């Protein structure tokens, strides 16, 4: 067990967690685009188009919008959880990982549940229809997730829990590192 961590160290740890989460999402997005391009080009008998894999506009949007959102959401969810954990005496590395996983589930779970509720409302309305497809397969039909839609949605929840666990570990690790003072000239 460790003592209370000063607030500036907590903020630094949460900033590291936000940067880790943002970097992982960007890497996953571009990695998936690369994988899709290679797989689909191979099935068509073509060479992969590197330009199609690197979308600089999307990268700029991730940097200008996604990074600030990641920081704000990490602070908004992580800081109250950190203070709650300290109040309950949960100061171990395992507690940080579990709370990070819970934060990841919370961040991904709220939109997931809201989408399911919205899909239920759409499926009950005879005058409205909403369908989505991924890789040519239906993930939503008439507002309600298909089996593939449920699998992908639950997979996203698991991925966010794992990312949250990594972010919780990173936040605690950075916050617990000894502060280095500058050397005198």
Query: Residue 100 is inside which H or E element, if any?
Result: helix 93-124
pLDDT digits (tens, 9 = 90+) for 123-170: 888 887 788 888 788 888 888 889 998 998 899 999 999 999 999 999
pLDDT of residue 59: 82
Rg (CA), the chain: 21
d(CA 136, CA 110): 27
Closest CA to 7 of 78, 71, 68: 78
CA atoms of 104 and 157, how far apart (whole Å): 8
What percent of the chain lies above the pLDDT cut of 70? Answer: 91
pTM metric for this prediction: 0.77
């Amino acid at each position: 067990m460790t003592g209370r961590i000063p607030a500036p160290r907590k903020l630094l740890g949460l900033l590291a967690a936000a940067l880790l989460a943002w970097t992982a999402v960007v890497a996953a997005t571009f990695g998936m685009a690369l994988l899709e391009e290679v797989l689909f080009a191979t099935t068509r008998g073509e060479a992969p188009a590197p330009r199609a894999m690197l979308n600089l506009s999307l990268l700029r949007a991730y940097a200008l919008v996604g990074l600030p959102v990641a920081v704000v959401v990490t602070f908004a969810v992580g800081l109250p959880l950190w203070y709650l954990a300290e109040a309950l005496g949960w100061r171990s590395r395992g507690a940080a990982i579990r709370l990070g996983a819970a934060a990841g589930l919370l961040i991904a779970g709220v939109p997931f549940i809201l989408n399911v509720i919205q899909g239920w409302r759409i499926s009950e309305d005879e005058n409205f229809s909403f369908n989505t497809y991924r890789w040519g397969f239906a993930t939503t039909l008439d507002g309600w997730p298909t089996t593939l839609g449920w699998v992908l949605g639950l997979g996203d929840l698991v991925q966010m829990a794992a990312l949250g666990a990594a972010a919780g570990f990173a936040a605690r690790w950075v916050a617990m590192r000894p502060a280095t003072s500058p050397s005198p000239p």
